[in-house]
Amino acid sequence: MKNTEKLLSDREERLLNALIREYIDQAQPVGSKKLVQTASLNLSSASIRNVMADLEELGLIASPHTSAGRVPTVQGYRYFVDSLLNIKPLQPVAVEKMIKEFAGDYDTTSIIANASAMLSKLTSLAGIVTLPRRQRVQLAQIEFLPLSDNRVLSILVTDDNEVQNRIIPVKRVFESGELRQAANYLNTMFAGKEIRQVRNELLNELNEARQSMDQKMQAVVEMANKMFADENQDDQSDFVVAGETNLMDQSEFASVDTLKQVFEAFNKKRDILELLDQCLSADGMQIFIGDESGYQGLGDCSLVTSTYSVDGQVIGTLGVIGPTRMPYEQVISVVDITAKLVSSALKSK
């Protein structure tokens, strides 16, 4: 991906850099005159035009029409983020503020929601955070409460303090003592094990109970099984988006049609989820520019993501969606620090 590097002279690089920064700032095709004013490169407009012509031939910039300024292409942005970025860490004060925001959150869900809102607020773009993959989550506690005659409320607490409730329809009436016994049994049996493993072992247990004709045990295991059946369902975790309306301020989404495309992409969760899953496998920061993502609807969008993890285990993705013309440096550092904060917020619980 970085093989474009040596193809550009120092001057070309500097010019491309200045051009993209100018475009990101002004949202308008930038011409040679504009760049003359950019003091950093002391060149006349004519020389600039020459260099720009070269860059255009290389496919890094393009002119929307004969006599407009130049605009970065996807390849141009790619070169920019790969080679020209100058990431400066956020101000400690700002980081302090962010840390405080997370301080009060004990459960995963609020951390996620908070992170999403924070990303959106700090970048003025749309923040997006996937729920953690539950695979590695360990079971901390199970409890049952009788509701009505044929319904039992199951409470499942995981080791990350996530609580899940499920109402389980049951065939016969369970006494409260009986339920407590069942919970105790399951707790001593499975506490500290991974959810997936629990599920598998439960199935074995169910067979055994069936064979030994232990009616009571069978009923309990069946109930627990139902609980985890549901559990697995939202293993197809989805994600939280915040600040979509920020996108409406972006000039590239001025037409309702393009806007609609983007918004509908959010609703077709499956697609985006797939994309975010790709990011999951690549540990660390990832940047999709324009149609690099391979999903139409996000044609003029870029996606800056990072992964967050607990105990060295990557468990989710978070990031920002905005127009290709976004302030990458700022966005990247915000996403980066947010990922780190989410990781530590999840760990410290």
Partner DNA sequence: GATTGTCACTCTAACATTACGAGTGCTAAT
Partner DNA sequence: ATTAGCACTCGTAATGTTAGAGTGACAATC
| Cβ neighbours for 94, distance < 8 A, ≥ 6 positions apart | none
173 binding a copy of itself? (CB under 8 A): no
Binding mask 209-238 for a copy of itself (x = CB under 8 A): ------------------------------
Token pair of 280 as six digits:
């999951």
Q: Which of residues 23-62 bind DNA (CB under 7 A)?
A: 29-34, 42-47, 49-50, 52-53, 56
Which residue type occupies 29?
P
Could you identify the residue written with the tokens 């049996």? 189
Q: 155: how many CB neighbours lie within 10 A of its CB?
A: 15
Question: Does the footprint of DNA cover residue 67 (CB under 7 A)?
Answer: yes
The one-letter amino acid at 309: S
The per-residue b/e assignment along 98-130, b for 16 or more CB within 10 angstroms, e otherwise, is beebbeebeebeebbebbbbbbbebbbbbbbbb
Among 267, 281, 296, 344, binds a copy of itself (CB under 8 A): 267
Kind and range of the H or E run holding 126: strand 126-130
Closer by beta carbon to a copy of itself, 33 or else 270? 270
Binding site partner of 42, from a copy of itself, DNA, none, Cβ cut-off 5-8 A by kind: DNA
Rounded to whole angstroms, how far apart are CA atoms 306 and 303?
Answer: 10
CA dihedral 13, 15, 21, 25 (to 10 degrees): -170
Alpha carbons within 13 angstroms on the beta-carbon side of residue 36 total 9
- The nearer residue to a copy of itself, 53 or 147, going by C-beta atoms, is 147
Least gap, CB of 160 to DNA (angstroms): 53
- Considering only 26, 207, 215, 245, the residue that binds a copy of itself (CB under 8 A) is 245
CB 237 within 8 A of CB 131: yes
259 binds, among a copy of itself, DNA, none (CB under 5 to 8 A by kind): a copy of itself
268 binds a copy of itself (CB under 8 A): no
Question: Would you give the DSSP letter of residue 66?
Answer: T
Residue from 4, 63, 181, 261 that binds DNA (CB under 7 A)? 63
167 or 229, CB closer to a copy of itself?
Answer: 167
Contacts to a copy of itself by CB under 8 A: 106-107, 140-141, 143, 145, 147, 151, 153, 155, 157, 161, 163, 165, 167, 169, 244-245, 248-249, 253-256, 259-260, 263-264, 267
The residue ranges that bind DNA (CB under 7 A) are 11, 29-34, 42-47, 49-50, 52-53, 56, 63, 65-70
